Amino acid sequence: MVSAFKAVDFLANFERVLDLYNMSELIDFEADSCWITIKLKNGVELKMKPEVTAVLYKGNDPNSGLPIYMVYSANVVKITKLSNQEVANQKSALYH
């Protein structure tokens, strides 16, 4: 998980880059994050959620006039269930 200190550093550096090029606007945002369950065919179950780190307004599309946003994010993934075969493989790796 990203610490608050690293997130602040990231945003501070991001704002410096934006100031240099003056091409985008950093937008304040709130994000609801929910876990997505992924069930693999081998019996393993994963949970994943996106973590949004920054949203930029890039201007408007010249053809449609619609706003263009860039969303920077990372995925957090955790294993919530292992198959019996995966557990057996882990046990055999530990005891050999």
End-to-end CA distance of the chain: 32
pLDDT in tens, 28-87: 999 888 999 999 998 899 999 999 999 999 888 888 999 999 999 999 999 999 877 766
* Helix (H) or strand (E) segment spanning residue 58: strand 45-60
pLDDT for the residue numbered 36: 96
Label the pairing between strands 45-60 and 36-39.
antiparallel
Q: Which H or E run contains 94?
A: helix 84-94
pTM above 0.95, yes or no: no
Residue reference for tokens 């408007």: 60
Domain that holds residue 47: 4-94
For the segment 13-29, what is each residue's pLDDT rounded down to a tens digit? 666 655 545 578 899 99
Q: Which of 91, 81, 77, 84 is nearest to 40 (CA)?
A: 81
CB burial string 32-71: b at 16+ within 10 A, e below: eeeeeeeeeeeeeeeeeeeeebbbbeeeeeeeeeeeeeee
Tally of domains in the chain: 1
Q: Which residue has the higher pLDDT, 80 or 90?
A: 80
